[in-house]
Amino acid sequence: MRRSDFEVLKIPNLRRFFIARALTVVNGSIAPIAMAFAILDLPGGDSQDLALVEVCVVVSQLFAILIGGVLADRWSRVRTLVLGGSTASTGMFLLGIMLAIHVSHVGVYCIGAALTGLGSGLGFPVFTALIADAVPESQRQSANGLFRLVINLSRVGGAGIAGLLIVTLGNAGTMFMVGSAFLLSALIVSGIKVHQLPGSGESAIKDLTDGWREFVSYPWVVIVVLCSMVLNAMYAGTIDVIGPVIAKSDLGGPRGWAFIMMCGSLGAFVGTVIALRLKYRRPLITATLISFAMPLQIFLFSISSWLVVLALGAALVGVSMDIFGVAWDGALQREVAREKLSRVSSYDWFGSMVATPIGIIFAGWGAKHFGATAILPWMALIAALSLTLPFFSRSVWNVRGPQASSSLP
């Protein structure tokens, strides 16, 4: 990284935003690991039970993503983040209470999981737009890269201590700690002051409709989101359901799974450093090529129970995801009007995640009835085929990086 990349940290409020985001990412790294093994440790808990809880998280996130974009554009991006952090904190405290009093019915855990998903989902559409509000265009690639650097360092820390926390504090204690950290992040972000362009003044339905029209007016956005929809469904089924099942039986339980997640976060850190130095000519094509690491990792889970092999695969996925993320955020910030960016980002997040419950349910059902590894090669094939879609779109090829764009007449 260049010293000039850190100049962006002189911008008021950006440091506070990064600290608050780091806390939420640490929480988000610990909570899924604790939740997965808490459900699998319930009497009779299996892959289908885990899939049910994970689906509750994702469905509530999808709902929150849509309303989060409208809230952020019409009300306040900062207040939307505060509301999200507070709601996620409530969900984690509820999960901790149920674990502490030894509730065994998996359906009850869906309530806490849904609240946690609702809170985290409210923030998804806000991050990209908040950086656009706070940072001049000439510094946004550095801001996006540093933002992901903060995220990835936090993920490394969160995943690194997750297994230790679960072993020392137990699942209930871990949930209480994560809930407290979510609440702290909401308090920190409440002090951020940025200039936000005023909303349209129209009804919420009109704003959603306008956001949809803006979203579909960019063919390259629609193509990449369709690709991500399928890819994320297959990858989520692997990482959220089948991976923890394999880890519990063959990889040393929470510690082994936390190690794999930590390696993925380390890879993402490397990906951020690479992304800051890349001079994107066709950023989305480059990022899509690198994303073939995801179907490769799905396939590795089907053929190997070696912890080192799966950890290396996770690191490669981390590299690819962050190179893609920096390229994608930059393209949206350059091409989409700022006053509509949160709503377009909402449809981006919603479309990218809408099929994730199907992938999770399919993985849970398949793992229970055919074995944890039997369906993974097919999931890897579907994921790989989805990644070919952007290469057939001229609009995706025509999206240029900031340096290339500035040189065009």
Sketch the domain layout of the chain as residue ranges: 12-189+199-407
What number of other Cβ atoms are within 10 A of residue 398's Cβ? 11
Per the listing, tokens 């073939």 go with 292
Element (H, E) at 20: helix 14-40
How many CA atoms within 13 Å lie on the side-chain side of 230?
Answer: 20
Estimate to the nearest angstrom the gap between the alpha carbon of 332 and the chain centroid: 17
Cα gap 51→35, rounded to integer Å: 11
Helix axis angle, 341-353 relative to 219-236, nearest 10°? 40
Amino acid found at 247: A
Which residues contact residue 24 at a Cβ distance below 8 angstroms, ignoring those fewer than 6 apart?
85, 88, 120, 123, 181, 182, 185
Burial 324-340 (b: 16+ CB within 10 A, else e): bbbbbbbbbbbebeeeb
CATH superfamily of this structure's domain 12-189+199-407: MFS general substrate transporter like domains (1.20.1250.20)
Amino acid found at 254: P
- Judged on CB neighbours under 10 Å (0-12, 13-18, 19+), 312 is middle
Cα gap 356→350, rounded to integer Å: 10
| DSSP letter string, 244-301 | HHHHHHHS-THHHHHHHHHHHHHHHHHHHHHHHH---SSHHHHHHHHTTHHHHHHHHH
**What is the pTM (predicted TM-score) of this model?**
0.75
Residues in the chain: 409
pLDDT in tens, the chain (409 residues): 566 566 666 776 777 777 887 888 888 788 888 888 888 888 887 888 889 998 999 899 888 877 776 777 666 778 888 898 899 999 999 999 999 998 888 888 999 999 999 988 887 767 766 777 777 666 766 777 777 777 777 777 777 777 778 878 888 899 999 999 889 988 888 877 765 555 555 666 776 787 788 888 889 999 999 999 999 999 999 998 999 888 888 888 888 888 898 898 889 888 878 877 777 778 888 889 999 999 999 999 998 778 899 999 999 999 998 888 888 888 887 877 776 776 787 788 888 988 999 999 999 888 888 887 889 999 999 999 999 999 998 888 888 766 554 443 3
Which residues contact residue 32 at a Cβ distance below 8 angstroms, ignoring those fewer than 6 apart?
240
Element (H, E) at 138: none
Whether 342 contacts 126, CB under 8 Å: yes
Whether 295 contacts 381, CB under 8 Å: yes
